[in-house]
Amino acid sequence: MAHQVLFKQTDYRKFAKDVHEKLRDVAVDATYRFLLKNLKIIKGSPSKPGQPPAYQTGALFRSVKKRKVARGMATKARGEIIITSKYAKIHEFGGKILPKKAKMLAIPINAQADGLLLTYGRTRNIPNLFVYKAKSGGLFLARSEDKELEVLFALKDSVYMPPRPFVRPARAKVKRLLGPLAKKARSKVKFGK
């Protein structure tokens, strides 16, 4: 009895290529879902260093997009994740933050300062603020109400923001789920447009 040939060698290559592309699509979908889940875990106040960024305004969450990208002249598209938020990269990797439009950064130091920022949008729009120099030499933005000093913001030349990764944990989770197949199923994540 002769064995029947079910696949030719070229069929195996095509099958392997198809499996590889499907794995990549699975990896992109899973990474995308875990990314969005990471960004909705913590709501409210800012997250601690090392944790995913807290969900406050939803801007970072809304900036995560999944799209198909054509590969050269190939007819098949590959999925990738794009994060368009300006501050996504600094959240993911941490780094030094410098002022862009002002001479110094105004860092809110209490809940009232946070509320004023929500109401007025920027520190320069908050009425009756003035620069206060403490005995220690530190500079602050304060205001005076009923002859009582109310310190609201610390002024700094720069600040270091520790990483609050949300992409790397999502990719690590997908890698753990896919196990040995993960090498063939890498998801591509881009910061920027």
Residues 68, 14, single domain; the answer is yes
- Structural domain boundaries, residue 67: 9-93+163-191
Checking DSSP bridges between strand 77-83 and strand 188-191, what pairing results, if any? parallel
Q: How far is CA 12 from CA 8, 20, 26, 63, 186, in A?
A: 7, 12, 21, 39, 22
Amino acid at 172: A
Tens-place pLDDT, residues 26-53 = 777 888 788 888 777 666 677 788 888 8
In a domain, 1, yes or no: no
Distance, CA of 106 to CA of 100 (rounded, Å): 12
Are residue 80 and residue 144 in the same domain, yes or no? no
- 192 DSSP 8-state letter: -
Total structural domains in the chain? 2
Report pLDDT for 75: 47
DSSP string, 4-56: PP---HHHHHHHHHHHHHHHHHHHHHHHHHHHHHHHHSSBSSPPPTTSPPPBS
Give the residue, 115 or 37, on which the prediction is more confident: 115
Q: Which of 37-51, 59-73, 83-97 has the largest mean confidence?
A: 83-97
DSSP calls for 103-123 = SSEEEE-SHHHHHHHHHHSSG
The predicted model scores a pTM of 0.68
Same domain? 52 vs 71:
yes
- For residue 4, is it within any domain? no
pLDDT at residue 72 is higher than 60? no
Phi-psi bin for 126: left (phi > 0), alpha (psi -120 to 50), beta? beta
Q: Report how far Cα 122 is from the mean position of its chain's Cα atoms.
A: 23
The DSSP code for 169 is H
Instruction: State the Cα–Cα distance between residues 103 and 138, nearest whole angstrom.
Output: 15
